[in-house]
Amino acid sequence: MDNRMIDRLLEGLEKSAENDFDLLESAGAEYFSTIELLEMRGRCREQRRIYTKIHKAVLLVGAGAPSWIVFGFVFGILGFQVAATFSLLLFPISFFLFLVGGLFLRSQFRSRGYLEHISHLIEWELSRRRDELERKRYL
């Protein structure tokens, strides 16, 4: 192997190690200290909270997009042409924001299931360590 291949391999490993959640999933929670697991649990909870807020907003925008068409037709029937045009223009904008929001969530958080999986791995390992300490206490 020449040095460039080794350097590329090391860079790839460093990039994958930058994301603690991916490292935890691939290597296992047992290789992290309790302090690291507690910190990751806090970060995971925060990311789940942020994901939920953004997801709700994206769904609200997406679900509201068809209503702009209805408003546009109602305004058109009532003779409010400017409001009708504005409402009809908001439909593709809302739909576009819905798609962009979904892509943003996917790129930043993967999915809610991924965050829940990581959370379960951390909780399981912390529970295992807690049980192990309690067993040692009684021996």
Place of tokens 């991924």: 114
Q: Which residue do the tokens 């009532």 mark?
A: 78
Sign of the Cα pseudo-torsion (82, 87, 92, 98, in order): positive
Can you give the residue range of the structural domain that contains 103?
42-138
Tell me, yes or no, whether 89 lies in a domain: yes
For the chain, the domain total comes to 1
Measured distance CA(24)–CA(17) in Å, rounded: 9
pLDDT band at 18 (very low <50, low <70, confident <90, very high): low
pLDDT tens digits, one per residue of 51-97 = 999 999 999 999 999 999 999 999 999 999 999 999 999 999 999 99
d(CA 53, CA 25): 25
pLDDT at 8: 75
Q: Is residue 59 part of a domain?
A: yes
Q: Is 131 helix (H, G, I), strand (E, B) or coil?
A: helix
Whether residue 22 lies inside any domain: the answer is: no
Residue 48 maps to a domain: yes
Model confidence pLDDT, tens digit, residues 87-132: 999 999 999 999 999 999 988 888 888 889 999 999 999 999 999 9
Residue 106 resides in a domain: yes
Instruction: pLDDT band for 3, please (50, 70, 90 cuts).
Output: confident
Q: Does the predicted model carry a pTM greater than 0.85? A: no
